[in-house]
Every structure is written in C-alpha cells, then in structure tokens.
C-alpha cells in the first residue's frame, strides 16, 4: 500500500508571526519530506508519527516542544497524545515541563496499562526514561509573555488571542501495511490558568481507528466542545467519506463559532483537512508530491485529495 502523510503546525489568522509564508513552507515541507522518507523505508505509522512530531517539536516557530508558549505564571507546560488506529489505543501526557519531546512520553505509555499521565506522573516518567532535562523556552516566547503581561494581561482580558497561542503541531500517517496513527503536541493556549488541560491530550483533539485518523489545532475549548477528532473519525467509521465527514464537522463548528482546524487520513489513502480559522498550516505527501494549505484562504471550510 502506498503510504500517505499529513502534518500541521497550527492554525490562526495569518502566517506573519510564524515567520511568513516562505519560512513556514520551508519548515513544513522539509519535515513532511523527512517523515515520508521514514514511511517509504518501512516505518510503521506510529513510528512515523512520533518522528514527525519530534521534528515539529524541535522547530521553534511552532507552539510545541521547543518554542512552546508560556502560561499565566510564566511557566511552560506541554501536552501530547499518540493514537494507534489499528489497536485503537490512546496514550498521552498532560502539562509536562522540561522535556524536549513530549510525544516520546506518549509513545512510552502506549504499551502501559496507565496510559495518560499528568504533571507529577509525567515528570516521574521523564526521570524513569532518563530523558535529559531540556528547557523549551525561547527568547521570542519570553518576550511575547513579557509584552502580554504589560497592563496586567489586558490583551487577554479583551479576549485578544495572540497568534502564537493558537498553535499546536500534529502528524497523521498511513503506512505501507494500511495502518493509521495520529499524534498531536502543544504548549497549550498560552496565558492559561495553572492546571488547564489541553484538547491535544484528549480524544477530542487526537483520535484514530483502523478507518481514519485525525489531529486538531486551534482553541482547545472549542475543539473539546465539538469533540472534533472523534466526531470526524466516527463519521467515517459509520460510512461517510472522509471528505464529507470533515466538511460536515467543519460546517457544524462554524455554526457554533469555533476557532479550529483538523487534518485527516482514511484507510483508503484519502487525505483531507478543514478549518474555521482563516489559515491552516498544513502540508501533505500523497506519494507523488508534497502540497500544502498555506495559501488556502477564503470561505471554504474543507478540502480533500482522494487516493
């Protein structure tokens, strides 16, 4: 079977604060190429998803791993989830600090009986795995936080959502055996209360079965209220095409004024994406070439490539 891949680096209203179109395109295409190469060499969907997430977590322009945004108290707390579609098995970590790749912790939890760990448990897991301590803070994120803090977070009170705070990264892969997997990782919404839990480490934001797999981005509370990833996957499982499942789910999210995006694959090799936000930072490899959604702006809520 021909492998398929789609990745994202968040959603928002413009590419400006992410470094502009050319820079985002260069990063996303390089990561899509590298991750697709793993699939071509026979990597499983789950291993390719972990690899793709690691590369996106390492890219500081995206809000996950290094380059994560700061919470209200000035600390970074990251969350990540991994779902194996074939075994329909979810694992994740919530609000972990000082890890280079939160997706690695989600991966380490895949075979465990306790598969979603939060703060202290996730920190303990880091120690068990002997992961060297890593500070994911960048100068840019610190500067953004200091700016937002001015006036006692008045921008937040005015409900202005900074672009960097809508970021998340995600990878969805179909391997040469026809197995699907999805992974999602985030620094969260930024300026959130201590203890807030992101959609990225819930089935609302990251879900897969043997039929379809989805990773979401956008405002976590909106994704949780729509249960977007699970909603799309269940629709495909019940017989809707991937394109129709994503179109219907985005239409419903739009009616409810949600701010979100999603990337998806199904077991036939169809690739689809959708958004209610203005831009979606996604790139895909269809087996022949790499494409992206970076200049897809306008009224359309979803689009798809069939296999």
Q: Which residue is nearest to ligand GLY (CB)?
A: 220
Contact code string over 151-180 relative to ligand GLY, x by CB under 6 A: -----------------x------------
- CA distance from start to end of the chain: 11
Does residue number 189 form part of the binding site for ligand GLY (CB under 6 A)?
yes
* Residue of the chain from 104, 199, 226, 266 that contacts ligand GLY (CB under 6 A): 199
Candidate segments 20-28, 154-162, 193-201, 246-254, binder of ligand GLY by CB under 6 A: 193-201
Does residue number 292 form part of the binding site for ligand GLY (CB under 6 A)?
no
* Residue of the chain from 218, 261, 269, 274 that contacts ligand GLY (CB under 6 A): 218
Residues acting as catalytic residues: 168
Question: Do 232 and 245 touch, CB atoms closer than 8 A?
Answer: yes
Q: H or E stretch including 275?
A: strand 271-275
Q: How far is the CB of 228 from ligand GLY (least distance, A)?
A: 10
Residue 107 or 168: which CB sits closer to ligand GLY?
Answer: 168
Euclidean distance between CA atoms 124 and 122, whole angstroms: 5
Does residue number 107 form part of the binding site for ligand GLY (CB under 6 A)?
no
Euclidean distance between CA atoms 167 and 219, whole angstroms: 9
Residue 54 or 277: which CB sits closer to ligand GLY?
Answer: 277
Question: Do 106 and 80 touch, CB atoms closer than 8 A?
Answer: yes
Question: Do 63 and 187 touch, CB atoms closer than 8 A?
Answer: yes
Residue 81 or 247: which CB sits closer to ligand GLY?
Answer: 81
Question: Do 75 and 97 touch, CB atoms closer than 8 A?
Answer: yes
Question: Do 8 and 169 touch, CB atoms closer than 8 A?
Answer: yes
Does residue number 206 form part of the binding site for ligand GLY (CB under 6 A)?
no
Q: How far is the CB of 19 from ligand GLY (least distance, A)?
A: 20
What one-character-per-residue DSSP string does 208-236 give?
E-SSEEEEEEE-HHHHHHHTHHHHHHHHH
Does residue number 198 form part of the binding site for ligand GLY (CB under 6 A)?
yes
Euclidean distance between CA atoms 193 and 209, whole angstroms: 32
Q: How far is the CB of 286 from ligand GLY (least distance, A)?
A: 26
Q: How far is the CB of 167 from ligand GLY (least distance, A)?
A: 8
Q: Scan for tokens 């798809």, then name that residue.
A: 304
Candidate segments 156-164, 185-193, 231-239, 268-276, binder of ligand GLY by CB under 6 A: 185-193
DSSP code of 159? T
Euclidean distance between CA atoms 185 and 200, whole angstroms: 6
Residues that bind ligand GLY (CB under 6 A): 168, 186, 188-189, 198-200, 217-220, 223
């Amino acid at each position: 079977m021909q492998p398929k891949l789609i990745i994202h680096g968040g959603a928002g209203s413009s590419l400006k604060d992410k470094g502009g179109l050319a820079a985002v395109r260069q990063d996303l295409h390089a990561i899509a190429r590298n991750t697709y190469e793993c699939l071509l060499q026979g990597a499983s969907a789950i291993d390719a998803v972990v690899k793709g997430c690691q590369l996106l977590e390492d890219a500081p322009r995206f809000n996950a791993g290094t380059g994560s945004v700061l919470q209200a108290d000035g600390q970074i707390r990251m969350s990540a989830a991994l779902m194996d579609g074939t075994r329909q098995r979810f694992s994740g970590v919530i609000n972990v600090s000082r890890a280079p790749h939160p997706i690695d912790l989600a991966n380490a939890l895949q075979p465990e009986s306790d598969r979603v760990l939060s703060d202290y448990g996730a920190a303990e897991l880091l120690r068990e795995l002997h992961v060297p301590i890593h500070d994911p803070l960048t100068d840019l994120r610190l500067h953004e936080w200091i700016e937002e803090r001015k006036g006692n977070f008045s921008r937040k009170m005015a409900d202005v959502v900074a672009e960097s705070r809508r970021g998340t990264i995600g990878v969805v892969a179909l391997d040469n055996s026809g197995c699907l997997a999805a992974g999602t990782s985030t620094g969260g919404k930024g300026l959130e209360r201590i203890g807030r839990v992101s959609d990225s480490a819930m089935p609302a934001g990251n879900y897969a079965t043997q039929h379809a797999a989805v990773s979401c981005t956008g405002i976590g509370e909106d994704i949780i209220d729509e249960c977007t990833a699970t909603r799309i996957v269940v629709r495909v499982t019940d017989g809707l095409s991937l394109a129709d499942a994503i179109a219907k789910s985005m239409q419903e999210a739009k009616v409810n004024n949600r701010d979100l995006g999603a990337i998806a694959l199904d077991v036939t090799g169809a690739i689809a994406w959708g958004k209610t936000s203005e831009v979606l930072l996604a790139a895909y490899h269809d087996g022949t070439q790499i494409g992206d959604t970076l200049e897809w702006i306008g009224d359309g809520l979803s689009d798809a490539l069939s296999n």
